[in-house]
Structure 1
C-alpha cells in the first residue's frame, strides 16, 4: 500500500515515537515511559534506527543530537508522553469510556490503555497521518481494531463537531480529550476553533493539551533551544501559536473548562526523571495543562 508523502507538519509525528521506542531498550526500572508498541508503528528505516539504539553509545548519540536542537528535548518528549499516559489511565479508572485523541499521530494510547475501559477511541489527525496510521494498524493487527475510529481532519478549516458526530461521537457522554503537541502548529484562530468545539463537551469531560511558551516563540527567551526556534519558527514557519503560563487558566475558562493542573520542567524532573536515577535535562519551552468540564 502506498501512502502519499506527508507534509512537514505531518512528518513531525515520527520523531517523538522514535524517542519513545528507543526508551524501551532500558530496564523497566530506568524507563520514563513504557510503550512496547511504539516501534511497531514506525516506518522500516526508523525501526532500524531504534534497533541500533539498544547499544548505549548509539542511543547517547541520538539523544545528544536531539538535545543540541533544544536542550532537554529528549527527556521532555518522554515526560510529556508519560504525563499523557498517566492522565488517560486516570480517566479509565474514573469510568470514562469515550476518548478523543486530537492530533493522534503515531501514538499508541488508544491500543495500550483504552481497551481496558471497554470504550471507544477516536483518533483525529491530518489525512496523510491517518492514512499512514491505518497502514500500520493493518500491518500490526490485520485491521483497524473495532474500538478505534480513524478520523481525517484539518484543524484549521474543518468543523470538528460535524466531522466527529458523523463518525459516531456521542456529545452527551463524558469524554477524555488528549491534545498533545498540536497547538503550536495552529494559528490562534485554529486553536480557538478547536476550543469552541471542546466547549460543547459533556460535564465531567477531561482535557489535556500542550502549548509552547509565547516568550520562546517571540524570541524573548530561547531556553537553550535556539536551533529549534530557528528551524520551526524562523525558517520553516511551522510553529505559530504560543501561550503565557499565566494565561492558560483564563483561556480555558472562556470555553467552560476549569484548569486543574499545569506541569512543566520542574514537575517532570520530580515525577519522572529523578525516580529513574538518570540525570537528564528537561526543556522549558513546552507545558501541559489539565482541565475538567464543569
Structure 2
C-alpha cells in the first residue's frame, strides 16, 4: 500500500467534525453538509453515527477540546465562513470555483449552482479517495465538479496549475472564487509563493479565501495549544508556514490582490455564537491559532 504523505493524512479530522455537526438540531447547526459522513472510512462513519446521541457528541467535542482547545469549534466556524463567502460569490455572478487542496471537503458539490463549474485540486492520493467516495454516493461525482491531481510542492507550480485547469475547461479570463482552506501551514515558503504567483493570474473580479496559522505559534507555541505544537510542529514537522496578521496585506499586494477582511475567533463568536449572533449563544470554544482572509482582485 502506498504511504500517504503527511499532509494528506490530515483530510479526515475536519470532515468527521462536519459530519458530527449534522446531528445538531437545525437551529443550532453551524454548517449543512449531508455528504460529509458518506466520504468517511467505515470506522469513522460508525463513530459519527454514535454521535446522534447528544451526550456522545458532547463527549467527543470535549475530548477534542481537552487535547486542542477550540479546534473543534474553529473547524466548524471556518467552514461556515467559507460556505457563506462562496455562496456570496456565486450570488454575485461568479460562476467558477477553484478549491486548492480540497481534501474531503464537499463544498464544491454542495454549493456550485447549475451552470457553474468547480475545480478541486489536490494530491493524487486525496483525489483518488475523494473520487471513490463520491462514486459510492447517490449521483456519483457531480458533472459540474472536476477533480484534478496536483502536488503543491512542485517546481513551476504556477504553470502546472494553470495548465491543469485549462485542460479541464477553466476559463482564465473570467472571474473565479478561489478557496485555499487549511493548506498553507503544510507548505514550504516557496510553495506558498508559487501558489500566489498562480493566483496573480486570476481575472479581475475574482475572490480569494485562504487560511493561515499564526507565525508566533509556529515559532514558540503558546495559545493554550501545547499538544498541537508538539504534534504538528515539533514531532511531525508538517506545519511550516505561518503569518502575522499585519503581514497579510503586503503579501497579497505583491501578487495583485487587495485584502478585504480577516476573521478569527473573535469575529466567529460575534457572527455565529454570541447572544446576538446567529445561533444565539451556542457554547463553543474557538481557537485563535488560525485566521481566514478574504481578498479581491481589482
TM-score, normalising length: structure 2: 0.94
Tell me how far 1:5 sits from its aligned partner. Answer: 4.8
Q: What are the ranges of 5 or more consecutive residues in structure 2 without an aligned counterpart?
A: none
Of 70, 73, 76, 1:75 maps to 73
What is the aligned partner in structure 1 of residue 290 from structure 2? Answer: 286
Is 1:124 aligned to residue 128 of structure 2? no
Of 23, 36, 48, 2:21 maps to 23
The count of aligned residue pairs is 290
What is the aligned partner in structure 2 of residue 259 from structure 1? Answer: 259
Segment of structure 1 superposing worse, 32-41 or 255-264: 32-41
Alignment of 1:1-294 (within 5 A): 4-116=2-114, 118-141=115-138, 143-157=140-154, 158=157, 159-219=160-220, 221-274=221-274, 275=277, 276=279, 277-294=281-298
**Is 1:71–1:223's contact at 8 Å kept on the other side of the alignment?**
no
Secondary structure of 1:261's counterpart equals strand
Runs (4+) off by over 4 Å: none
CA distance in 1: counterparts of 2:120 and 2:267, whole angstroms: 28
Secondary structure of 2:65's counterpart equals helix
Secondary structure of 1:135's counterpart equals helix
Tell me how far 1:69 sits from its aligned partner. Answer: 2.8
RMSD (Å) for aligned C-alpha atoms: 1.3
1:60-90 per-residue CA deviation (whole Å, 9 max, x = no partner) reads 2211221123211100000000000000000
Tell me how far 1:259 sits from its aligned partner. Answer: 0.3
Tell me how far 1:106 sits from its aligned partner. Answer: 0.8
Tell me how far 1:143 sits from its aligned partner. Answer: 3.6
Secondary structure of 2:137's counterpart equals helix
1:117-150 per-residue CA deviation (whole Å, 9 max, x = no partner) reads x211001111000000000111014542211111
Tell me how far 1:46 sits from its aligned partner. Answer: 0.7
CA distance in 2: counterparts of 1:218 and 1:64, whole angstroms: 27
Tell me how far 1:54 sits from its aligned partner. Answer: 1.1
CA distance in 2: counterparts of 1:263 and 1:209, whole angstroms: 11
CA distance in 1: counterparts of 2:3 and 2:60, whole angstroms: 25
CA distance in 2: counterparts of 1:56 and 1:6, whole angstroms: 34
Q: What are the ranges of 5 or more consecutive residues in structure 1 without an aligned counterpart?
A: none
CA distance in 1: counterparts of 2:162 and 2:171, whole angstroms: 10
**Is 1:96–1:176's contact at 8 Å kept on the other side of the alignment?**
yes
Distance 1:208 1:139, change over 3 A: same
